[in-house]
Amino acid sequence: MKAINEEKKKQLSSLPSVDELLKSPEGSQWLSVTPRKIVIQAIRDVLAEKRKNILDSQTPEISLEAIISDIDLRIRKFSSYSLMPVINATGIVIHTNLGRALLSEKAVRNIIDVARGYSNLEYDLETGKRGKRHTHTKRLLKQITGAEDAFIVNNNAAAVLLCLNTLAKGREVIVSRSELVEIGGSFRVPDVMAAGSAVLKEVGTTNKTHLYDYKRAINRNTGMILKVHQSNYKIIGFTEDVKIEELISLGKKNRIPVMYDLGSGCLVDLKPHGIHSEPSVQEIARLGVDIVTFSGDKLLGGPQAGVIAGRKKYVEMAQKNPMARAMRVDKMTIAAFEATLMDYMDDENVIKKIPVLDLLFQTPESILSRARKIASELRRKISNAEIEIIKDFSRAGGGSLPEADFPTFAVSLRPAHITVNVLESRLRRNSPPVIARIKGNSLLLDARTIQKHEIKSLVAAITLALCNPDEF
Ligand SMILES: *Cc1c(COP(=O)(O)O)cnc(C)c1O
């Protein structure tokens, strides 16, 4: 026992001090490129880890070289950002976990321009007086959607919450049971209702709700009729729900505002592209709905935001609600959103200009040509995996267009020396990380969401991941 302790003591005292490490040639090298705080933290962490390992009777590498190399690694980890670009090889275009919509070039440039300096965020350049941040997006939103008025908040969940609170606080909101949905874990219609201080009045059944169900539920305390787009699921079979048109006329007759939570917020007509399940915002606004809400970063293809559009009277009430202040968007969101809307003014080229739409509606030939390029580059570099191009389907994602399958091409990899799970995890921990999908014994790289400029680093990542046969 005593001998072990002596040995441990010897090892502990052989560890270099923070000061010694800082004064070593490597130390000055680190300090010349990395903030002192980060260097010191990295040294302390590595020494603490070594000390702990010694005391736990493990046998850590405590040569100076090993310690320095560990510190090197840790400094690199501390100096890199937590939020970083990844290569999306999942084929899911609006991937909520991977940041949803890619912004257009115009939107990105506008964020940079506005963020770099001062702006007229809340300053009226005509009068020289205080202005409103909502002015910057209002004109285009009204023009594009056809709604009387509109403004944006932080996301669609906030938009729904704000409208419920503004129009139905302490009052009943009639919703069909088939629309009491949960979207992405934390947005559940009943919970949002409670948070907005509205009282949920469920009507109908899971598969069928009739107009008379809504009619019967109306009373003196009804504050709103709400329709929620079943964006991320579909009830099939013996079903029936009430069209928004019918709800709008019911609402009019009874002087009750009707709101439609559209979710995705598509601003182009997708029917020519074979998609009939997603009404455009314009279509819904034209029907005369009192309020429509939708996301900025789903099919719209802009920054995270929630749009509240509809009758001027109601939109203004929502804008004046004190809660709106807690949901207000920042200048970078406004910059990106306005630029994205500007892209929509060019009707003929909008699909090409908005990356989300471009990725969804690119031709199979262009996906195949990227898949071929990836496969041929890989074949030149590696011999320890089977590589083939397969036909597959990609999804829109983000709860958008759940029924639509988008035919795609994927590069399928079957590694010879490591399991497909090891390959997947190595790619995920690459710099930049590559996020891919496992199917059976293959790793699928869906060419739909892999951009041309990413192919080189994708191939390098795969080559590196396959070169080491050992697990790490
Ligand atoms: C996505 C979605 C939401 C939530 O929108 P966020 O912008 O993610 O807050 C709300 N309602 C519906 C119907 C949706 O599809």
Question: Quick check: 431 pLDDT over 70?
Answer: yes
- Of the listed ranges 205-214, 274-283, 394-403, the one predicted with least confidence: 394-403
- Above pLDDT 90, what percent of the chain? 86
Please state the atom number of ligand 1 nearest to the C-alpha of residue 264: 15
Q: How confident is the model at residue 466 (pLDDT cuts 50, 70, 90)?
A: very high
pLDDT for res 161 = 97
CA of 362 from ligand 1 middle (Å) equals 25
Question: Quick check: 58 pLDDT over 90?
Answer: no
Whether the Cβ atoms of residue 284 and residue 292 lie closer than 8 Å to each other:
yes
Average pLDDT over residues 94-117: 97
What secondary structure does DSSP assign to 225-243, as a single string?
A: EEEE--TT----SS-B---
> pLDDT digits over 183-193, tens only?
766 788 899 99
Q: What is the mean pLDDT of the chain?
A: 94
CA of 467 from ligand 1 middle (Å) equals 43
Whether the Cβ atoms of residue 94 and residue 400 lie closer than 8 Å to each other:
yes
The CATH number of 105-351, from 3.40.50.1980, 1.10.580.10, 3.40.640.10, 3.40.50.300, is 3.40.640.10
pLDDT for res 277 = 85
Please state the atom number of ligand 1 nearest to the C-alpha of residue 159: 9
With the most atoms of ligand 1 within 8 angstroms of its CB, the residue from 97, 278, 295, 299 to mutate is 295
Kindly give, in sequence order, each residue whose CB lies less than 8 Å from that of residue 366, ignoring residues fewer than 6 positions away: none
User: Is ligand 1 within 6 A of the CB of residue 230?
Assistant: no
Question: Quick check: 48 pLDDT over 50?
Answer: yes
Whether the Cβ atoms of residue 225 and residue 250 lie closer than 8 Å to each other:
yes
User: Is ligand 1 within 6 A of the CB of residue 228?
Assistant: yes
User: Is ligand 1 within 6 A of the CB of residue 157?
Assistant: yes
pLDDT for res 237 = 76
Residues 270 and 314: their CA atoms lie apart, in Å, by 28
pLDDT for res 472 = 45
Residue nearest to atom 2 of ligand 1 (CA): 263
CA of 367 from ligand 1 middle (Å) equals 29
Determine if residue 288 is left, alpha or beta; phi over 0 gives left, psi from -120 to 50 gives alpha, anything else beta.
left
Residue 189: burial class (beta carbons within 10 Å; 0-12, 13-18, 19+): buried
With the most atoms of ligand 1 within 8 angstroms of its CB, the residue from 178, 183, 266 to mutate is 183
Residues 94 and 370: their CA atoms lie apart, in Å, by 20
Please state, in angstroms and as integers, the Cα–Cα distance from residue 168 to each residue in 181, 236, 251, 256, following that order. Answer: 19, 31, 14, 10
Residue nearest to atom 5 of ligand 1 (CA): 156
Q: How confident is the model at residue 2 (pLDDT cuts 50, 70, 90)?
A: low
CA of 215 from ligand 1 middle (Å) equals 27
CA of 298 from ligand 1 middle (Å) equals 9
- What type of residue sits at position 369? S
* Structure tokens, 412: 């399928």
Average pLDDT over residues 290-307: 97
> pLDDT digits over 201-224, tens only?
999 998 899 999 999 999 999 999
Q: Which of 306, 308, 234, 245 is nearest to 277 (CA)?
A: 234
pLDDT for res 413 = 98
Average pLDDT over residues 130-151: 97
Question: Quick check: 344 pLDDT over 50?
Answer: yes
Question: Quick check: 239 pLDDT over 90?
Answer: no
Q: How confident is the model at residue 262 (pLDDT cuts 50, 70, 90)?
A: very high
CA of 263 from ligand 1 middle (Å) equals 5
pLDDT for res 408 = 97
Average pLDDT over residues 132-161: 97
With the most atoms of ligand 1 within 8 angstroms of its CB, the residue from 187, 231, 261, 401 to mutate is 187
Whether the Cβ atoms of residue 349 and residue 363 lie closer than 8 Å to each other:
no
The CATH number of 87-96+360-471, from 3.30.1360.200, 3.40.718.10, 3.60.150.10, 3.90.1150.180, is 3.90.1150.180
Question: Quick check: 231 pLDDT over 80?
Answer: no
